[in-house]
């Protein structure tokens, strides 16, 4: 608390300070916890192969009434792709001639796996222990879109009901299943979703204590290499030395693609050279070091790069699982086939659409025949240019609110469905996360940190205030 006499007066509710104070009070007075507890209770798992009714109920019974109370017109729309979940599009049009910001969140969560949570915790009920609010979706993503909309509500209040711009909210219900239909939905409803700027809240801050802005994400391709030599196993004593072993061949093939230090060697799939502005942007980003973070391995990954460059500005390939024969019951035989599931994480500028072609050519060059290459799923890489005026504007807004240095990540190391917004809708994309790396997202004991949530509300309220102030680079 400041000791000045002004500080003891309530902030003018129609000022930026009043707006931010209103948002913090939403948490301090229990509003956020109440709203989030109700939201977490919807068992909206999307990754279990079927769509539970809670996906629609969350949008229809929970979010639509909340948004309607803020002056939005809400529509629940079907997924253009078979088997995909519904979308909520909420629009708050003050004046069609004014600019529009598109906000995004997802109402679905990953499988709750209740038995794996620690004693005293359960996924569908928010349990508060100190600064931690436990529950499935508290971090990913119900807590984060609740914070964003809480901040927006404060801005509407502080601006006396008139923001000076329009807002569209898009909530999807399949993000944890790979966002089926999101690209098609955005293409189909281009007019409904027309906007000038995109703001999303998802993913982690780079570290709990560093307010973070990221501008896109690395992309991801999951692919499978398989080699089938014959239709059954043959005794290794009777036939070893005269029959090709597919596991041996495949292990050697993979070793030419990625070496024993994790360096990826496939021509065409290596990252483009890191530009000076990206190098500069990532140079100040801390990697790891939080409680519960793993210790980084020395000597792993592309030589000559810093850990931040390897993680954020480079391409990495992982073996996800490798199988041949039976790991539970090894037998003395030459297995008939072998399969390896791999993943490439990649940055903007990688020709990932040609992955099959590049890998096939690589394997041919190294003398391997008969290995099948198949792409299973892919997400594009995206990155708003660091020179976009929105980047500095957003950093200034976050600094003004928090008084802290802001971590600017050119892209998230992980993957988010940002190409729907940056490529299909053509929007500048700003992502402001309100979670942190050890939040337990996707695993047991997922939680939101109350201090980050409180600062997140302040950040979002300030940002939505600033969007209606002179200087916003619409």
CB of 195 to Zn ion, least distance (A): 23
Nearest CB to Zn ion, comparing residues 270 and 442: 442
CB of 442 to Zn ion, least distance (A): 6
Alpha carbon of 22 to those of 68, 91, 147, 241, 312: distances in Å? 20, 23, 13, 76, 36
Strand partners, 227: 338
Residue nearest Zn ion, Cβ-based: 140
Q: Which is nearer to Zn ion, 202 or 309 (CB)?
A: 202
Angle between helix axes 389-402 and 450-467 (nearest 10 degrees) is 130
CB-wise, 148 or 226, nearer to Zn ion? 148
- Bridge partners of 408, per DSSP, are 213
Q: How far is the CB of 207 from Zn ion (least distance, A)?
A: 19
Minimum Å gap between C-beta 126 and Zn ion is 18
Phi-psi region of 411 (alpha: psi -120 to 50; beta: other; left: phi over 0): beta
Size, binding site for Zn ion by CB under 5 A? 1
CA 262 to mean position of chain CA atoms: 24
Nearest-approach distance from CB 76 to Zn ion, in angstroms: 22
Give the residue with the Cβ less far from Zn ion, 409 or 412.
Answer: 412
- Residue 140 or 309: which CB sits closer to Zn ion? 140
In whole angstroms, the minimum distance from the beta carbon of 375 to Zn ion comes to 22
Report the residue number, 433 or 468, with the smaller CB distance to Zn ion.
433
**Backbone angles phi and psi of 377, in degrees to 5:** -160, 155
Q: Does 309 bind Zn ion (CB under 5 A)?
A: no
For residues 34 and 83, give the distance between their C-alpha atoms in angstroms, rounded to a whole number.
32
Instruction: Quickly list DSSP for 138-193.
Output: SSSSHHHHHHHHHHHHHHHHHTTT--SSEEEEEEES-GGGT-TTHHHHHHHTTTTT
Burial class (CB in 10 A: 0-12, 13-18, 19+), 84: buried
For 129, residues 6+ apart whose C-beta sits below 8 A from its C-beta are none
Helix%, strand%, coil% for the chain, nearest 5: 30, 20, 45
Contacts of 318-321 spanning 24+ positions with Cβ under 8 A: 318/342, 318/343, 318/345, 319/254, 319/258, 320/222
Q: What x-and-dash track marks residues 87-126 binding Zn ion by CB under 5 A?
A: ----------------------------------------
CB 401 within 8 A of CB 408: no
> In whole angstroms, how close is the CB of 174 to Zn ion at the nearest point?
11
Give the residue carrying structure tokens 């041919």: 364
Q: Nearer Cβ to Zn ion, position 265 or 442? A: 442
Q: Which of residues 129-188 bind Zn ion (CB under 5 A)?
A: 140
What's the gap between Cα 319 and its chain centre? 21
> Within 10 A of 252 (CB to CB), how many other CB atoms are there?
12
DSSP conformation class of 84: P
Could you tell me the smallest distance in angstroms from the CB atom of residue 9 to Zn ion? 43
> By C-beta, is 144 or 397 nearer to Zn ion?
144
Give, in order, the Cα–Cα distances in Å from 143 to each of 111, 149, 228.
17, 10, 47
Closer residue to Zn ion in complex, CB, 110/348 = 110
Q: Measure the CA angle with vertex 216, ends 212 and 222; round to 5°.
A: 120
> Which residues from 373-432 bind Zn ion, rule CB under 5 A?
none
CB of 203 to Zn ion, least distance (A): 8
SS3 348: coil
Q: Which is closer to Zn ion, CB of 140 or CB of 172?
A: 140
Q: Name the residue nearer to Zn ion (CB basis): 415 or 429.
A: 415
Q: Which residues bind Zn ion (CB under 5 A)?
A: 140
């Amino acid at each position: 608390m400041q000791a000045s006499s002004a500080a003891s007066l309530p902030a003018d509710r129609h000022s930026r300070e009043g707006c931010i104070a209103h948002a913090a009070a939403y948490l301090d007075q229990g509003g956020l916890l109440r709203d989030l507890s109700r939201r977490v209770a919807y068992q909206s798992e999307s990754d279990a192969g079927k769509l539970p009714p809670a996906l629609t109920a969350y949008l229809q019974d929970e979010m639509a009434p909340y948004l309607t109370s803020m002056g939005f017109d809400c529509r629940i729309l079907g997924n253009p792709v078979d088997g995909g979940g519904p979308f909520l599009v909420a629009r708050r049009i003050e004046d069609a001639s004014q600019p529009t910001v598109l906000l995004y969140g997802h109402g679905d969560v990953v499988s709750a796996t209740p038995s794996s949570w620690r004693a005293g915790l359960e996924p569908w009920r928010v349990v508060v222990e100190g600064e931690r609010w436990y529950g499935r979706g508290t971090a990913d993503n119900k807590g984060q879109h609740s914070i964003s909309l809480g901040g927006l509500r404060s801005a509407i209040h502080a601006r006396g009901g008139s923001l000076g711009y329009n807002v569209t909210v898009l909530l999807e219900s399949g993000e944890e299943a790979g966002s089926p239909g999101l690209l098609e939905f955005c293409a189909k409803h281009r007019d409904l979703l027309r906007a000038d700027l995109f703001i999303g809240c998802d993913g982690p801050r780079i570290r709990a204590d560093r307010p973070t802005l990221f501008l896109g994400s690395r992309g991801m391709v999951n692919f499978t290499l398989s080699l089938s030599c014959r239709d059954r196993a043959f005794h290794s004593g009777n036939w070893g030395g005269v029959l090709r072993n597919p596991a041996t061949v495949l292990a050697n093939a993979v070793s030419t693609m990625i070496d024993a230090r994790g360096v990826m060697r496939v021509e065409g799939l290596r990252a483009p050279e890191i530009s000076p502005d990206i190098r500069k942007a990532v140079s100040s980003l801390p990697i790891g070091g939080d409680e519960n973070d793993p210790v980084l391995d020395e000597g792993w990954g592309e030589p000559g790069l810093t850990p931040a460059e390897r993680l954020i500005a480079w391409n990495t390939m992982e073996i996800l699982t490798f199988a041949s024969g039976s790991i539970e019951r090894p037998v003395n035989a030459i297995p008939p086939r072998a399969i390896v599931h791999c993943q490439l994480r990649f940055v903007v500028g990688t020709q990932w659409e040609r992955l099959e072609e590049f890998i096939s050519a690589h394997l041919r060059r190294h003398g391997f025949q008969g290995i099948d290459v198949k792409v299973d799923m892919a997400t594009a890489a995206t990155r708003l240019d660091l020179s976009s005026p929105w980047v500095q504007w957003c950093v200034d807004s976050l600094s003004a609110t928090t008084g802290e240095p802001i971590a600017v990540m050119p892209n998230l190391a992980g993957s988010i469905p940002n190409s729907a917004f940056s490529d299909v809708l053509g929007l500048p994309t700003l992502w402001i996360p309100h979670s942190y790396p050890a939040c337990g997202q996707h695993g047991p004991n997922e939680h939101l940190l109350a201090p980050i949530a409180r600062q997140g509300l302040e950040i979002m309220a300030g940002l939505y205030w600033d969007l209606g102030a002179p200087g916003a680079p619409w």
